A and B are shown apart, each in its own frame.
Chain A
């Protein structure tokens, strides 16, 4: 297309407007000319080398490091948009003088964040513009029509419908509100455009406006790389997002275009149901979105009583007219042309009757198990690959349970994959790092929503846990046809799924249903049972999430102190804390421990003055993370730490600390045991540490025998409680694990000691025991061995003896050890047979165990040489393993044993007499 130069002589740019990165990827600048032509410009860029970026990567700058490129002195015109009121031909024919004065030209434009305006049709008379395509991932079929300027009142209906691109707008597509007179200044509006559809308080949590270091956290769905909620489409997005708004500037008015969410439509349907007593609208809604999703939305409506909903008044009118005419068919929900002009959007809040209605509908619909969810999500492939909080390979639950789970899943989704503490680290060079945490307000908001959900569950406990008879029959009839989720056997392939069963494990203080008390074999209604079990788990998980949020809020409130502490603690522990994600807290014991240790640090370092009060409040507020025993452990730790600094009162403090530790010995976690070691080392309390380990082993063995008893009790009971078996076996498993760990720890201690005794110290990495003298080390070893021997535990003894044999400390073994289990231990070792017998022999003689000594001596005296076969042995002429004189000696020993046995017998006999 060519335009003569002369015609463009008076081309003048009257206004410019920077288009920021949030609004467009490439286009940087919009220039508006005096003819109303909008020219979109792009300025060429060049990537900045990494080295140069590194210079700027300091903590102060982090928020600003959006850009990795510099500008080049080149520009391009990307797009030119002609004035609205004129057709292309008018411009080309230079008919701009015909511009009517009352219909005005555009002086500034705005590219919306989510909507790219791809104008495709212009009707000459009335300036109707069609914008195409919104969020490309969500709605494939969205062509939206809107009035660009309120000045164009006369809409030509014929033109509108005859265009091949046009589709009839659906109720949730688009509405117009003209609000310009309510806004005072236009300028302020422009910069805040993006905040209109994300609540400001949540923009951080939802991953908006974050530097790219952090945004990866907020992504769900590895393939799609989408933000947590947006990837799920409209149905999920509405849990946090307000309706999308599109703003258009004209010199006469600002037009806001609202895209109505499904929940807004539902609100309207409920409203109609309450006021007009007709559920046709609601039913068609269920048909479209499916029972489960409708349930989720109903819960959302119920729980968010102060939320605003956007109601399309035109649709309301339409419905009323239709309803007045005939009761049949809601298919005419689409607007007819006339009412398009009257699209007005009202903001409404739910009123009590409507909330009531929502709950009623929820329970009416909720008992159904639909074989196939009809509707919305079937067409949306992202819907099924992401975002259901549900176990893989489980059958479908009733709609109410599915709905509750879906709503809960969407609530926690933004935070789910985020790091609990996010270190500002840069690739390539390590950091003078700081730590990012969640915003307190965001967490509070999330917490409030969860609490609302919880109270909903509590309030409707009975209705949720039971199923109405008619539905029960219906569902049972169909139960063999109810589909299972087929998502493959390996749950690890689906990292976005939440395994309710596992995540909810914890201290089960408050059961939701009374299922745990029920007896086995009495209920046979599996459908109800499955539902109840899932609800139980859901309830517990909600509770745990709320508690975790509480802990986070507490920790974050003291952010600076906290971070300071974080860098004072052990490096590996600090790493674990920084690497933990929110979901890990429910998935791994390791990360649960993270929060616990944060609480410990908080308690010890931040508030040493009111230690006990705070500890008590922890116990009452965070029972999942902090118990009575934890407080005692924390106190003990504090005492020991004080002892390091406080020389004169050291002994008293140490004693106090040790008694405290002994009080709750069975509740020490494995990790804590390891963590305590440096503390003990600092104080030089090695035997005490060994004693602590031994005490723990004792406590755990006692517990194990208790568990065994309980188990045998259960086996005798014909109707044991339903959950008892699972609980007991879980305890047993954990206990056994701890026991093994402690025993290993004891031997490890010895091992380390031995290593520093037998080898020379390496100056570069000094070991634990290097700083004490050799003599002391030997003394210490003897002490430790004595400690262990005093504790009569078969496994510990055997591992001790094996340890001696491993380090070839045979004479020490015979001198120091006195144990009942020596025979088992020695014989099971892989040593030459003769050597083993020799050791045992010496041991028995020394400890005057004559009967066994006799047996062994005889065995040795009669020991058969290992037979070597054939000629080879003759040639080799090996010396015999036992010489003749040795054999005679063994025989003498045997005789000696016999004599002593005889003596003992006589003595006993005499004594008895």
Chain B
């Protein structure tokens, strides 16, 4: 079948990730397994807690879903080390009893 109207717009080779929905990128984090997801519907933030195969290591991934909640954008990750460092140098008044 000849169809001259259709053209390929880009010659760029597409990776498999590009064909998948955005949020699935989440599962492509190396070595880590997602343990828990938590969504803040008022702020449109998705948090993911990922544990390393190596025990004791973890990562909290933060994704921004945009103003309308339709986008998906990686913002930052809170790693084991960064959290621990901050925890150690935390000012005393922030450390509260329960």
Contact of A119 with B43 in the complex, beta carbons under 8 Å: no
Number of A interface residues, CB 8 Å?
56
Q: Is B15 an interface residue (CB 8 A)?
A: no
Known: A1-B92, A15-B49, A20-B41. A81 touches B97 (CB 8 A): yes
In B54-98, the 8 Å CB interface with A consists of 55-56, 58, 60, 62, 64, 66-69, 75-76, 78, 80, 83-84, 86-90, 92, 94-98
Q: Mark A9-49, 1 if CB is under 8 A from B, else 0.
A: 11111011111111000001101000000110101000010
Of A9, A18, A81, A83, which contacts B40 at CB under 8 A? A18
Contact B78 A41 (CB under 8 A): yes
A65 an interface residue at 8 Å Cβ cutoff? yes
- Chain B's closest residue to A74 (CB) is B76
- A68–B42 alpha-carbon span in the complex (Å): 12
B47-A129 in contact (CB<8A): no
A61 surroundings in chain B (CB, below 8 A): 67-68
Across the interface, which residues of B come within 8 angstroms of A10, CB to CB? 56
Please tell me which one of the listed residues A15, A68, A73, A79 contacts residue B36 in the complex, with CB atoms under 8 A apart: A15
Residues of A within 8 A of B29 (CB): none
Q: Are the CB atoms of A5 and B60 closer together than 8 Å?
A: no
Residue A459 is within 8 A (CB to CB) of chain B in the complex: no
Q: How far is the CA of A67 from the CA of B71 in the complex (A)?
A: 13
Q: How far is the CA of A65 from the CA of B78 in the complex (A)?
A: 27
The smallest beta-carbon distance between A830 and chain B, in angstroms, is 66
Which residue in chain B gives the minimum CB-CB distance to A9? Answer: B56
CB-based contact A122/B60 at 8 Å: no
Task: Tell me, yes or no, whether A78 is within 8 Å of chain B by CB.
Answer: yes
CB of A80 closer than 8 Å to a CB of B: yes
Distance in angstroms between the alpha carbons of A613 and B42 in the assembled complex: 47
CB distance from A605 to the nearest CB of B (A): 35
Task: Write the residues of chain B forming the contact surface with A, with a CB cutoff of 8 angstroms.
Answer: 36, 38-45, 47, 49, 51, 55-56, 58, 60, 62, 64, 66-69, 75-76, 78, 80, 83-84, 86-90, 92, 94-98
Q: In whole angstroms, how far apart are the Cα atoms of A588 and B22 in the complex?
A: 55
Interface centre among B39, B42, B66 (most CB of A within 10 A): B42
Provide a sorted-by-A list of 27 A–B residue pairs whose CB atoms are within 8 angstroms. A2-B89, A3-B87, A3-B88, A5-B84, A11-B80, A13-B83, A15-B49, A16-B49, A21-B43, A28-B45, A29-B60, A29-B62, A31-B60, A53-B67, A56-B68, A64-B67, A66-B42, A66-B44, A67-B43, A70-B66, A72-B76, A73-B75, A78-B94, A82-B98, A83-B98, A122-B97, A129-B98
Cβ–Cβ < 8 Å partners of B83 in chain A? 11, 13, 31, 39, 77
Chain B residue with Cβ nearest A22? B42
How far is B55's CA from A106's CA once the two chains are assembled, in angstroms?
21
Residue of B nearest to A8 (CB): B84
- A71 CB–B CB distance under 8 Å: yes
Instruction: Name A residues whose Cβ lies closer than 8 Å to a Cβ of B.
Output: 1-3, 5, 8-13, 15-22, 28-29, 31, 38-39, 41, 43, 48, 53, 56, 61, 64-68, 70-84, 87-88, 106, 119, 122, 129, 148
* Of the residues A20, A29, A67, A88, contact of B67 by C-beta under 8 Å: A67
**B68 near A65 (CB under 8 angstroms)?**
yes
Contacts of B42 on A, CB cut-off 8 Å?
20-22, 66
Contact A12 B58, beta carbon cutoff 8 Å? yes
Chain B residues with CB below 8 A from A65, complex form: 67-68
Closest residue on chain B to residue A78 by CB atoms = B94
List, in ascending order, chain B residues with CB within 8 A of A13's CB: 49, 58, 60, 83
CB-based nearest B residue for A58: B68
In the A-B complex, the 4 residue pairs with the smallest Cβ-Cβ separation, listed nearest first, are: A18-B40, A73-B76, A21-B42, A20-B42
In the complex formed, the residue of A with least CB distance to B46 is A18
What B residues does A41 contact at CB under 8 A?
Answer: 78
Contacts of A29 in B (CB 8 A): 38, 47, 60, 62
* Least Cβ–Cβ distance between B39 and chain A, in angstroms: 6
A449 and B5 alpha carbons, distance in the complex (Å): 67
Bound CA–CA A31/B83 (angstroms): 10
Contact (Cβ within 8 A) A48 B67: yes
**Is B43 in contact with A66, judged by CB distance below 8 angstroms?**
yes
Given contacts A5-B84, A39-B87, is CB(A82)–CB(B95) below 8 Å? yes
Q: Assess whether A28 is in contact with B98, with CB atoms less than 8 Å apart.
A: no
Q: How far is the CB of A99 from chain B (nearest CB, A)?
A: 14
Least CB distance, A52 to chain B, in whole angstroms: 8
| Bound form: Cα–Cα A148–B97 in Å | 13
Q: How far is the CA of A10 from the CA of B42 in the complex (A)?
A: 33
Q: When chains A and B are docked, how far (Å) is the Cα of A75 from the Cα of B85?
A: 13
Chain B neighbourhood of A75, CB < 8 A: 62, 76, 78
Complex CA gap A804/B64 in Å reads: 74
B40 — nearest CB in chain A belongs to which residue?
Answer: A18
Cα distance A824–B32 when bound, in Å?
101
Complex Cα gap A769–B38 (Å): 68
Most buried by B among A12, A18, A87: A18
Expressed in whole angstroms, the Cα–Cα distance for A64 and B60 within the complex equals 25
Residue of A nearest to B52 (CB): A12
A310 CB to closest chain B CB, in angstroms?
Answer: 27
**A32 CB to nearest B CB, Å:** 10
Across the interface, do B98 and A84 meet the contact criterion of CB distance under 8 Å? yes
The CA of A614 and the CA of B48, in the complex, are separated in Å by 58
Contact B75–A43 (Cβ < 8 Å)? yes
With A and B bound together, what is the CA distance between A129 and B66 in angstroms?
38
Shortest distance in angstroms between B77's beta carbon and chain A's nearest beta carbon?
9
Instruction: Pick the residue among B45, B49, B96 that contacts A80 (CB under 8 A).
Output: B96
Q: Are A43 and B62 in contact (CB under 8 A)?
A: yes
- Residues of A close to B43: CB separation below 8 A: 18, 20-21, 28, 66-67
State whether A122 and B76 are in contact (beta carbons under 8 Å apart), knowing that A20-B40, A80-B87 are contacts in the complex: no
Q: How far does the alpha carbon of A31 sit from the alpha carbon of B51 in the complex, in Å?
A: 13
| Residues of chain A within 8 A of B94, CB atoms compared | 77-80
Set of chain A residues within 8 Å of B75, measured between Cβ atoms:
43, 71-73
Taking the closest CB of chain A, its distance from the CB of B35, in whole angstroms, is: 8
Closest to B89 in A: A2
**A73 vs B39: C-alpha distance in the bound complex, in angstroms?**
18
A17 vs B41: C-alpha distance when bound (angstroms): 12
User: Which listed residue (A8, A71, A80, A84) contacts B95, Cβ 8 A?
Assistant: A80
Contacts of B78 in A (CB 8 A): 31, 41, 75
What is the CB-to-nearest-CB distance from A190 to chain B, in angstroms, rounded to a whole number? 10
A74 to B76, CA, bound (A): 7
Asked if B67 contacts A56 (CB within 8 A), the reply is yes
A72 vs B76: C-alpha distance when bound (angstroms): 8
B40-A19 in contact (CB<8A): yes
18 A-B pairs besides A71-B62, A79-B94, A82-B95 with CB distance below 8 A are A3-B88, A8-B87, A10-B56, A12-B51, A13-B83, A29-B60, A31-B49, A39-B83, A48-B67, A71-B45, A71-B76, A77-B86, A77-B87, A80-B96, A83-B98, A84-B98, A106-B98, A122-B98
Measured in the bound complex, the distance between the Cα atoms of B89 and A3 in whole Å is 9
Q: Are B97 and A87 in contact (CB under 8 A)?
A: yes
How far does the alpha carbon of A362 sit from the alpha carbon of B41 in the complex, in Å?
A: 47
Question: Taking the nearest CB of chain A, how far is it from the CB of B41, in angstroms?
Answer: 6
One of A1, A3, A16, A43 near B76 (C-beta < 8 A): A43
Nearest CB of A to B17, in Å:
21
Q: Which residues in A have their C-beta under 8 angstroms from that of B62?
A: 29, 43, 71, 75
B23 to chain A, nearest CB (A): 16
Tell me, in angstroms, the Cα distance from A56 to B67 when the chains sit together: 8
**CA A642 to CA B77, docked complex, whole Å:** 68
Measured CB to CB, the closest approach of chain A to B56, in angstroms, equals: 5
**Given A8-B88, A73-B75, A1–B95 Cβ distance below 8 Å?**
yes
